[in-house]
Amino acid sequence: MPQSGTSPGDGARVDACTDVHYVDTGMYDTPGYGAVYVVDAERPAVLDTGIGTHHERVLDALDEVGIARDDLGAIVVSHVHLDHAGGAGFLADACPNADVYVHEIGAPHLVDPADLVAGTKRAVGDQWRYYVDPEPVPESRIVELADGDRIDLGDRTLTAHHAPGHAPHQVVLEDDRDGFVHTADAAGIWVPALSEVHETSPPPNFELETCLDDVATIRERAPDVLLYPHFGPVADDVDGVLDEYATTLREWVARVREKRAELDDDEAVERYFAERTSLDEVWPAHKAEEEVAMNVRGVLVALDRRVA
């Protein structure tokens, strides 16, 4: 079985960038799935926060890099899905001088996460067992982002670009120093053990054409490096990876549509794809199957929206 190359809690430097590190948070008890990035800038930053369940691994990563918790200046949330934002309140509490940056649509859900928790439970089903209830972020700590807003880290600047296909509150972050783009979920899920990019299409907001627009938004930045929250940096053939994801999305939606027409039973469609995923080569079978089933549900919801 291929291995992810990391274990939960492992940290690494992004070789293609200056003073950028990442830690495997062990999300869903799965190595090589959830990464949080630490930018050791004049004004240090954390990019995304993980699911919250193992937020102490992010704090340990700050310690390893040599960033005092009082010195962390920015906690940047790419979008408020809990696998990216679930740790925001915990990290904000531990790092009292950090501003919490999030797209303006998502900001209310960090202040009061009740609706977000309810929506997450509906979307992820049995996977909720891996989560922890998020801590609210004080409203006074939040800085709302709109398209084109910049985050000043002193010796580098991150520019937020709205990328609403995966979620209406999603941004990707463009770096002006090393030319990286933090992709959020706009460029899919990178599986380093397979050197493949896989679809991410969870309910309720997935829209194929808008997701393809988001891939184009990333491409327009001409990135040298993609920083994937799921999982790890990609510095080789960036254009090829983006092309691959656009193709993957189109083919994925077409396959789900065709199988629904054939089976005429949505639960059977979920089972069909979950039982045939290749992701169980690198992730535990339970995670691979649950991930695929969730992504099938997202496509089915989007198809229903088009009919309505």
Check residue 2 and give its pLDDT.
39
The C-alpha atoms of residue 193 and residue 155 are separated, in whole angstroms, by 33
Q: Where are the beta strands (DSSP E) in the chain?
A: 11-13, 20-24, 35-39, 45-47, 74-76, 99-103, 142-145, 150-152, 157-162, 171-175, 180-182, 189-191, 196-198, 225-228, 232-234
Please compute the mean of the pLDDT values over residues 39-47 and round it to a whole number.
98
The radius of gyration of the chain's CA atoms, rounded to the nearest angstrom, is 18
Check residue 305 and give its pLDDT.
86
Beta-carbon count within 10 A of 1 CB: 6
Contacts of 82 (CB under 8 A, 6+ apart): 51, 52, 116, 117, 120, 131, 134
Is pLDDT at 156 greater than 60 in this prediction? yes
pTM beyond 0.75: the answer is yes
Question: How does DSSP assign 113-131, residue by residue?
Answer: -HHHHHHHHHHHGGGGGG-
Please report which confidence band the pLDDT of residue 1 belongs to, taking 50, 70 and 90 as the band edges. very low
